[in-house]
A and B are shown apart, each in its own frame.
Chain A
């Protein structure tokens, strides 16, 4: 069965510092990976995804993640964070059964301090 582990439940960083949110997955079949962000009292928004092709994927707001098959990881990084990045971040793996089934990690709470 597919599963996702987010190793850090909370990550506090100072504004303009770099950050890495870690995600490891287990899967015996083709891997499709996602990072979603959830701001307070909102639904989930897609941040970025790996479906195939280039292993380095980027979002429009400066985040990037690299699919590493040998280490079964899909860590999320940003070189310089802003206060507005404060949110909950979920890593997810997709199990395709006709319609998709997303399996989420436990989430990482990113807190940016001024």
Chain B
């Protein structure tokens, strides 16, 4: 099974809302990633978790709060977002100690009103 699942597929939220994006994988990968992708642009790395610990934060605003409750799950908590945060949010996973494929989920399409 090489599947990464993400929920919800679509999310519309106001600037004062609090919402969460969820990601799950069962490949035994110990690295998990959040990317943000704007239309017609490549994915931009936001966060990397390695062995359930945050290892990379690409200077992401604090209104995005990641969480890795266990080795299979990754959450992204959203609060007080801006309309420019509207994008496709992609989750990915990979092995840690060797360079190899990152497996991507289908993404959550987020619209901030």
Contact = CB atoms under 8 A, between A and B. Distances in A.
B56 A99 contact: yes
Contact of B31 (A46, A90, A100, A107): A100
B101 interface: yes
Interface residues of B, number: 29
A100 B42 contact: no
A32 B98 CA distance: 11
B30 to A, nearest CB: 8
A31 to B, nearest CB: 10
A100 B41 contact: no
A42 B106 contact: yes
A104 interface: yes
B113 to A, nearest CB: 20
Contact of A102 (B102, B106, B107): B102
A51 B97 CA distance: 14
A20 B49 CA distance: 35
A105 B41 CA distance: 9
B99 interface: yes
A97 B55 contact: yes
Decide if the interface of chain B is mainly helix, strand, loop or mixed. Answer: strand
A102 B45 CA distance: 8
A99 B104 CA distance: 15
Contact of A98 (B50, B100, B101, B105): B50
B45 A99 contact: no
A23 B101 CA distance: 18
A99 B101 contact: no
Nearest to B109: A41
13 contacts: A34-B101, A36-B104, A43-B104, A43-B106, A44-B43, A51-B100, A98-B55, A99-B50, A100-B31, A100-B94, A101-B48, A102-B45, A102-B102
What 10 pairs between A and B have smallest CB-CB spacing? A104-B42, A99-B31, A99-B50, A43-B104, A44-B104, A43-B106, A32-B99, A99-B48, A46-B101, A43-B107
